[in-house]
Chain A
Amino acid sequence: MGSHVVFRKARALLRVRSVARQVFLLQFVIILLLAATASITLVLQTQHAIMRDARQLTKGVATSFAHAPGTRAAMQSADPSSVLQPRAEAVRKESGVDYVVAFDPEGYRWTHPDPRMIDKHIYTQREGAALDRPFTRTFEGSLGLSVDSTVPVYDAAGTRIVGFVAVGVTVDSVSDVFRGQLPRLFALTGGVLLLAAGGTALVSRRLKRQTRGLDARELTRMYEHHDAVLHAVREGVLIVGGDGRLLLADSGQQLLDLPADTREHTLAEALQRSMLPHSLPDHSAVETAHRYLPALEGVGGDWFDVIPLPSARVALVVGDVVGHGLHAAATMGRLRTAVRNFSSLDLPPDELLGCLDELAAQSSDETVEPDGRGLLGATCLYAIYDPVSGVCSVARSGHPDPAVVYPDGTVEYLRVPVSPPLGLNSGLPFETAEFRLAEGSRLVLYTDGLIKDRQRGIDTGQETLREALAHPGRTPEETCRDVDAILPDQPHDDIALLVARPRLLKSSQVTDWDVPADPAAVAGIRANAAQRLQEWGLGELGFATELVISELVTNAVRYGAAPIRLRLLRDDEHLICEVSDFSSTSPHMRRAATTDEGGRGLFLVAQFTQRWGTRYMPRGKVIWTEQSLRGPAAGPDGAVADVLLDAWDDL
C-alpha cells in the first residue's frame, strides 16, 4: 500500500509539465549532485591530507627511532627488547602515534605497546596486511584504517638488515573531520536550493508573461506546427486563423534565409516609396497622420491610403502584402491602384474587398513571374467614414482589428467580421460592420507588423498598442508619436500606421428634403434649395446648382422609384447635391442627337460640376454631384452653349 502511494507520487513528480517546475527539478538534481560531489571531494581531500600527514608522521618517527644512537647496537645485542621496549614506548607517547614496534628481520617483535605481543610475529597481528607491498602502507587493521611506516636498520657495513622499526597511526579520524564539515555543507546546499527556487520563480513569472500561459509542450506543438507548414511550401505560406484573420505569413525567401539582392532591394525601396502617399490629402471629414517603417529584411508590401469619396466621405485603407522586396512592393502597387479604382466606383467596403479579392485571385493565377512567383498573400482593411452620419463602415480581409481611441482615452478594438486574406478565392462573403465614431475619437488602422512581434505574440502586441494609444485629447500626429515609442528598432515585418480623427459635419451644413414623385414638385424643391444656398452664402452657385437639382430630381421622378430625397451638404470645400431614390436603374450620360428631345440632362450636370457619380445603396441609388467652393464656379464654356440652350427646352 505504502509503496504504491510512493510509486504514484514518483509518477506524479515525473509528470511535472510546467517549465518552471522542470527547471526547478533540474536545478534540484544538479545541486544535489554538486553537494554529493562536494562531499566526496571533501572526504577525499580530507583523507588525502590525513594520509599524507600520517605518512609523514610515521615515516619521521620510524626513521628517527631507527637512526637513534644505540638502536642498532641494541638490535644486535643478546636481548634487544630490554633496551628497545622502554624507548619505543617513550617515543610512542611523546609523538602521539599508536605504536612503535621494533622487530627482527624474520618478523618477530622486540617491542610493542602490549608487552604480551613481544616475540610474536608481526604478521599475526596485522590482519589483511600479509606482506605484499612493503613498507609504508595503509591497511585496515583491528583499530581501523592504519598508516604504517617501516624502515630497516642496517649493520655497520650497511649491507645486512639487523632489524626494523614500524610506526603506525590509526586514522579513524577521517570520518570525524568529515562530520565536522557536514553542517557547513548542508547549510550551503540549503542556501543554494533556496536561491534556485527563487530564481526559478522569477523565471516562471517571466516565462508565463512571455508565453501567455502556454506550457512548453504547447509551445513546442505550436512551433512544430508552424515549422511543418513553413517547410511544406516552396514559395510562401499564409496561415489563416479560425476567425479568418491572417495569423502568420512568410515567404520562401525568408524561410531559406536568402541574402537579399541589393539591386532588387534598391528598386523595391524606390517602388515602395513612389507608391506610398508622401503626404495625405487634407480632408474635411478626417484629420490624419501616418507612419511607415520598413522591415529589417527590406521593403515590404504594407500600404495605406486616404481616398476622398463623394459626399464628403473618405475611405481609409490599410493593406499588407506578404513578403519583402520588389515582388511584394509591385504587388502592393497593384492592389493599391485597384483599391483606388474600386473606390472610385464608390463601392461599399464589403463589395470593394470582394472585387479586390477576385482581382487578387486572378492575378495569382495569371501573373506568375518568370521566377515562378505569383501573387503573394495579402490583407486589407477598408473603411468609409461618413461625416454626415458619423458612421464608419469597415470591412477587412485577413487584417487585424482597427482600434478606436475614444475622446476620454479609452481604447477599443472594433469587432469587425474578418474575411480570409485576399487572393485565396475562398468564396466566403465579405461583411461590413458599421460603427458610429464620436467626434474627437481616433480611428487607428495598422498592419500586423505593429502588433506581431516574434517575442511578444499578437495578443500581447495589441495590449502594448492599447497602452500606447490610451491618451485623451491627442491629435493624430501626437497619436502616431505615442505609437513611435513602441515601434521596434529593427522590425521583422514592415509596419504601416494610419490614424484618423473624424470630423462631423454640423447639422447646419446639411439639409434634406423629401421629394414627392411628381414632376410638378421640382420647381418647389429648386426654390427651397436656392434659399438654402443663400443662407450658406453660396448664392453665386445658385444657377448651376438649381440646374443640377432640376435635372437630377426630374430624372428621379421620371425614371426612379419613390421615396425620393434631395440632400444638400457643404463642407469647407464642396457643395454636394445628392438625389436618392429606390430604383437601382443606373442613369448614364450620352451625347444627345440634335433631334433628340431629351437625354441631355446628365451631360449638363457633368458640365456644371467638378464631379458626379452614382452610388448604390442596399436599396436604390444616389446620384451625387460636387461643386467646388474655391476658385471659379464651373460653367458651360462656349462649346456647349448650344447644348445648354437645348436643355432648357426640356425643363
Chain B
Amino acid sequence: MPAVSRRTVLKGAGAVTVGAAAGHLAGCGTGTEGKRRARESERAGVLIVRDSGGSHGAALRRSIYAPFTEETGIRVETVHFLHGQMLDQIKRGDPRFDVMDIDMHVLEWFQQNDASQEIDYDRLKNAKDVGIADFLLTSYGVGKSYWASVMGYHADAFGGRRPESWADFWDTKAFPGPRSLQSSFDLPELEFALLADGVPMDKLYPLDVDRAFKSLDLIKDSVRTFWNSGDEPGALLVRREVTATSGWQGRLEDRVRHGAPIRYEWNSARRRANGYGIPKGSGNPDDAYRLIDYALRPQVQARYAEAFITGPVTPAAYAYVPRSIAADLPSSPGNLFVGFDLDTEWWLENMDEVTKRWQEWART
C-alpha cells in the first residue's frame, strides 16, 4: 500500500466526486439534480458509499463491498468527503452519497444537525437481538466496528526500548526524535496530553482543557507535523520523518502486516466505534439498508476484522475470527483492558470550542 498524503486523499475524494457527477453537469449543485442523480444511481443499481478511503477503504471493498455486489448485483461506488463537506451537501439537499461509513460521534453530530434519516431497525435483521451493544444501535446510526487511536513508533527508533505510555511519548529525552500528532481534522488528542501529564485513565473526563493545552505546549516543539489523514502516521514512520506518532491502529497494523518496521502500543489507546448512517436525501436508501444488514452478518464482520483489524460489534463474529487476528483487535480483552473509551457526549458538547482553540494553538 503506497503512502498517501492528505493532498492525495483530498484529490482522490475530488476525483470520485467529479466522477460521480460527471454525467450530470447540466444541473450540478442543485437539489433537484442531486435527486435525479440519486434516482439514476438507483435505477442503475449503484450504491454510493462514503467511507474514509485509504487502506481502510481498500479493506472495506475487499471484505464487504465486493462480496455484497457479488451476492446482490448492486454495484458500490465510494466517495471520501470530509465531515463538513458531507454536512454541506446534505443541507443543500444534495448528498452525493447514499450511505455513510463514519465515526459514531459524527453520526450523532449529523443527527443533531438534522442531517440523518432515522434508522428503521425492522429492515436490519442482523442488528436485532444478536448482542450488539446498545450504544451502537441508535436512531441515527448502526455501529459497525470498534477502532482505536494508539501510539505508534518506529521499530528501530529507540534502540530496542519500548515507549509504553504517553508520558514516554512526551519524554523526548528518553525517547528522542520528532513526533507527530493528529491535527484537528478529527477530534484533537487532548486525552493523550492529559495522560502524559499524569491524569489517570479513569479520571480523564470531563477533560481539563487548560491542563491539556499546557501539556501540549511541552511537546509542541518536537512535533514536526500534525497528520491529517488515517494513512499519514504510518507513512511518517516509514519515511522516518518522525520516531513516534499517534495513529489509527488499523492503519498502522495494516502497514505492520505489509512488513513496515512499525510498532504500536495498546496501553492508553483511545477507543471509538464506526457505524453506518443514511443521510437525508439519500438517493438509494433501500440498497443502503441492504448493505448495512449485510455488513452486520457475523461472517462478514469477521472477514472485515481480518481485512482491516477492526473490532467486530457482533459477538457471534468471534466464532469466525482467526485466532491470529484476535490479539490485534481493539476489542480483545487484553487490549480492551488497557485502553479507554472516548466520551462522545463530552466531545459533542465541546468539539467546536476545543477545535478552534487547537487550531489557534497549532498556528502559533
Contacts and interface: CB of A to CB of B under 8 A. Distances in A.
Interface residues of A, number: 26
Contacts of A134: 333, 336-337
Contact of B146 (A122, A131, A133): A131
A390 interface: no
A103 B336 CA distance: 14
A646 B223 CA distance: 153
Given A106-B327, A107-B318, A130-B133, A159 B333 contact: no
B338 A130 contact: no
Contact of A107 (B314, B332, B338): B332
A574 interface: no
B332 A106 contact: yes
Contacts of A177: none
A139 to B, nearest CB: 9
A105 B164 contact: no
B319 interface: yes
B247 interface: no
Interface in A86-131: 103-108, 120-124, 126-131
A124 B333 contact: no
Contact of B315 (A106, A127, A159): A127
Interface in B101-132: 130-132
Interface in B158-197: 164
B46 interface: no
B52 interface: no
A135 B202 CA distance: 13
B313 interface: yes
B189 to A, nearest CB: 22
A130 B315 contact: yes
B332 A132 contact: no
A16 interface: no
A164 interface: yes
B331 A161 contact: no
A461 interface: no
B308 to A, nearest CB: 17
A120 B135 CA distance: 26
Contact of A135 (B316, B329, B337): B337
A103 B323 CA distance: 13
Contacts of A133: 341
B327 A105 contact: yes
Contacts of B130: 127
A490 B313 CA distance: 82
A130 B337 contact: no
A167 to B, nearest CB: 14
B136 to A, nearest CB: 8
A238 B315 CA distance: 86
A131 B305 CA distance: 15
Contact of A121 (B319, B335, B341): B319
A419 interface: no
B292 interface: no
Contact of A108 (B133, B316, B326, B338): B326
Given A108-B326, A121-B321, A131 B334 contact: no
A124 B327 CA distance: 16
Given A124-B318, A130-B314, A130-B315, A107 B131 contact: no
Contacts of A127: 130-131, 315
Contacts of A124: 315-316, 318-319
Given A106-B326, A107-B332, A130-B131, A123 B318 contact: yes
A168 interface: no
Interface in A142-173: 150, 152, 159, 161, 164
Interface in B288-344: 311, 313-316, 318-319, 321, 323, 326-327, 329, 331-338, 341
Interface string A574-588: 000000000000000
Given A106-B326, A127-B315, A130-B313, A122 B333 contact: yes
Nearest to A131: B331
A130 B145 CA distance: 11
A104 B326 CA distance: 10
Interface-central residue, A103, A121, A135, by most chain B CB under 10 Å: A121
A583 to B, nearest CB: 110
Contacts of B135: 132
A106 B164 contact: no
Interface-central residue, B164, B321, B337, by most chain A CB under 10 Å: B337
A104 B148 CA distance: 21
Contacts of A123: 315, 318, 331
A161 B337 contact: yes
B201 to A, nearest CB: 12
A164 B335 CA distance: 12
Contacts of B315: 123-124, 126-130
B129 to A, nearest CB: 9
A93 to B, nearest CB: 25
Contact of A152 (B316, B321, B337): B337
B326 A132 contact: no
A332 B318 CA distance: 104
Contact of B333 (A128, A132, A150): A150
B133 A132 contact: yes
A206 B78 CA distance: 84
Interface in A51-109: 103-108
A278 B278 CA distance: 102
A152 B337 CA distance: 8
Interface string A447-459: 0000000000000
A152 B315 CA distance: 21
Nearest to B329: A106
A411 to B, nearest CB: 82
A458 B193 CA distance: 87
Given A123-B315, A130-B133, A131-B146, A106 B331 contact: no
A105 B333 CA distance: 6
B217 to A, nearest CB: 29
Contacts of A104: 334
Nearest to A132: B133
B131 A106 contact: no
Contacts of B321: 121
Contacts of B338: 161
A479 to B, nearest CB: 86
Interface string B223-245: 00000000000000000000000
Contact of A129 (B131, B164, B313, B335): B131
A159 B164 contact: yes
A3 B341 CA distance: 54
A30 B326 CA distance: 57
14 contacts: A104-B334, A106-B332, A107-B332, A121-B319, A124-B315, A126-B131, A130-B133, A130-B313, A130-B331, A131-B311, A132-B341, A133-B341, A152-B334, A164-B333
Interface of B: 130-133, 135, 146, 164, 311, 313-316, 318-319, 321, 323, 326-327, 329, 331-338, 341
Given A128-B315, A130-B131, A159-B164, 12 more contacts: A105-B327, A105-B333, A105-B335, A106-B327, A106-B333, A121-B319, A129-B131, A131-B333, A131-B336, A152-B337, A164-B334, A164-B337
Interface of A: 103-108, 120-124, 126-135, 150, 152, 159, 161, 164
